[in-house]
Amino acid sequence: MDELKKTPLYEEHVRLKAQMGPFGGWIMPIYYSGILEEHSRCRKEAAVFDISHMGEFTVKDALGSGIDRAVTQPVERIRPGQGRYGFILNEQGGIIDDLIIFRLEDNSLMLVVNAATVGKDMKVLGERMAPGSLADISSETAKLDIQGPLSREVLENVTGTGLKLPYFGCGYFTVKGRRALIGRTGYTGELGYEIYSDPDTAGFLWRELLKDARVSPAGLGARDILRLEMGYSLYGSDIDEGTTPLEAGLEYFINYDKEFIGREALIRQMKEGFEKKKIAFISDSKRSPRQHYRILSADKDVGEVTSGTYSPMLSAGLGMGYVEKGYEKIGSEITVAGTGGVRINARITGLPFYRNGSLKN
């Protein structure tokens, strides 16, 4: 096992006495004051997360690079200053990674990919794209997420400019005389921004943001609960190369009116049907479903939990998982069976679980 990598803000986390833990090959803050406290501050005020472990690639000569066929996003139709969520698929339609593509300018793009998949993505995209068009800038790029209903106000104070970005919009802003890219995206269901910059600028921003008493540092523990309350998939848990966007209920993000690798497989799957389908479920107790718990329908084992948590907003356990075809109907009663005889009664539901976030404020 390689040594865990440290983000440029590692010393800040140590200074704040964060509980650190491994994630995707990195040593990351799991929590500072407490997971539920940080979750609550993000839902009510604003929380800042160090997400520097995630990968960033740049693409030059966007339209001549061959990227349009390499990913599901209709890159040619993304307007400059906008981003789109989508996937890198294999020929079978399996998800190699999920990613956001920002069109920075007419002919330049930035791709934001998962931490653990940087190497794999570079290899796959490198094979699919024109030589020299793709560059991995992950090691010199820090990423801070500021999320929460007060995040716009707080970030405007620090940057000294108005942030009129629409949802999934992006733009360059000047912080301390240096350029940072800000995208209005996130993983929490709240109004929020993701800020890409050099490590020094990130350190400055981190400290400036935390001078505001309305901002709390938050770790990956809170982030996991926040994303699960929205039903956002986590790569490696809820989606991977063995699942297609159709099985994962993410067809909304697929544009069939363009060519992309994996498209034929998805169309075939639509015609022939799928063997498994992702479901979301909410339990009738505070007990937390956990990854790898079995999903039962009237005592028949029909699937497996891929993510689960206790949700403070819903005061109940909730989770996602995959079930055999025919058992995915919303409203169905299921039992989640864990280790040591744990049995949780749950009901299949639509997403998001939590519907009162400030995401589109």
Query: Which residues form the interface with another protein (CB under 8 A)?
Result: 31, 34-37, 221, 225, 285-288, 290, 309-310, 312, 317, 338, 340, 342
Q: ω before 352 within 30° of 0 (cis)? A: yes
In whole angstroms, the minimum distance from the beta carbon of 141 to another protein comes to 30
Contact 187/47 with Cβ under 8 angstroms? no
Side chain identity at residue 77, one-letter code? R
Query: What are the start-end ranges of the E strands in 153-252?
Result: 170-175, 178-183, 192-197, 215-217
Total length of the chain: 361
In whole angstroms, the minimum distance from the beta carbon of 287 to another protein comes to 5
Residue with Cβ nearer another protein (142 or 228):
228
The SS3 call for residue 68 is: helix
Residue with Cβ nearer another protein (221 or 357):
221
In whole angstroms, the minimum distance from the beta carbon of 315 to another protein comes to 9
Tokens describing residue 43: 């839902």
In whole angstroms, the minimum distance from the beta carbon of 269 to another protein comes to 36
| Residue 258 Ramachandran class (φ > 0 left, ψ -120 to 50 alpha, else beta) | beta
Give the angle 235-194-208 at the CA atoms, nearest 5°. Answer: 135
Contact 82/102 with Cβ under 8 angstroms? yes
Residue with Cβ nearer another protein (20 or 239):
20
In whole angstroms, the minimum distance from the beta carbon of 66 to another protein comes to 44
